[in-house]
Chains A and B, each alone.
Chain A
């Protein structure tokens, strides 16, 4: 038996690590990976609550989050490639214009 709050604490740790990485990392790819980490933390709490309330809707929602994350990764990495092609840098401090 594992208390549900253990899962929520782990989920919180993952989410906080994601937020921290998003704020302090300067590489745009690492920032993107921090967003994926945050999504994973939220997914864990979805599944934990699905087990808690004996409802499968939480797992369905995790499935949709994964689909959206896959689409986001594809589009985001394409944007990163386009940014790198014009700026030749991955440092977000040097990317301060949206214009290509």
Chain B
């Protein structure tokens, strides 16, 4: 019973945050509701007995990734979104398509599922067992992800650096007159 109450508590917060992400028109509001979604998902993971995943969810997702999002939103001074003709087409095609998909998922879950239930504390999933699996059985994928992170760091630095700064570094003796690309805050 307690499990069901906690599940409904976190689940309602989670779904409300996800819908609020769609309803808001300013990106910073969407980012904050995404943080709410991720924090309540950490609660759901705890209910499922996945302590390690819950901790990583809070630290990595709700912490690091969302800080990156909020930082970029504030850096770019993003305003409310504007709608054009293309966005109306996207709504006309998107909403019915998603409704069809949702009906298919609900039908599959209701009529094609012979699945049982989970309860509090039924899962052994401590960090010790996770580490046993991660550093023995999944050691090669783990090492490959470290290479992936390294590549992503270098790619992010290269992509986000200003092109004139890169050019200046390459041709230090002959600086080319590149147009100033960054404008001051443009009125929308």
Contact = CB atoms under 8 A, between A and B. Distances in A.
Interface of A: 1-10, 12-21, 23-27, 29-30, 32-34, 36-37, 40, 43-44, 47-48, 50-52, 54, 56-57, 59-60, 62-64, 66-75, 77-82, 84-86, 88-91, 93-94, 100
Contacts of B98: 16, 19-20, 23
A75 B155 contact: yes
A81 B95 CA distance: 29
Main secondary structure of the interface of B (DSSP, over half): helix
Contact of B72 (A26, A29, A52): A29
Contact of B61 (A20, A69, A78): A69
Interface of B: 3-4, 7, 11, 14-15, 18-19, 21-22, 27, 30-31, 34, 37-38, 41, 44-45, 47-50, 52-53, 56-57, 60-61, 64-65, 68-69, 72-73, 75-76, 78, 81-84, 86-87, 90-91, 93-95, 97-98, 101-102, 105-106, 109-110, 113, 115-119, 122-125, 129-130, 133-134, 138, 141, 145, 148-149, 151-153, 155-160, 162-163, 181-183, 186, 188
Nearest to B12: A10
A12 B106 contact: yes
A7 B48 contact: yes
A59 B50 contact: yes
Given A12-B109, A26-B82, A48 B149 contact: no
Contacts of A16: 98, 101-102, 105
Contact of B81 (A7, A26, A73, A75): A26
Nearest to A2: B7
A33 B30 contact: yes
Given A29-B69, A40-B37, A93 B94 contact: no
Given A33-B30, A59-B52, A78-B155, A40 B125 contact: no
Contacts of B94: 19-20, 23-24
B83 A26 contact: yes
A37 B18 contact: yes
Contacts of B160: 77-78, 81-82
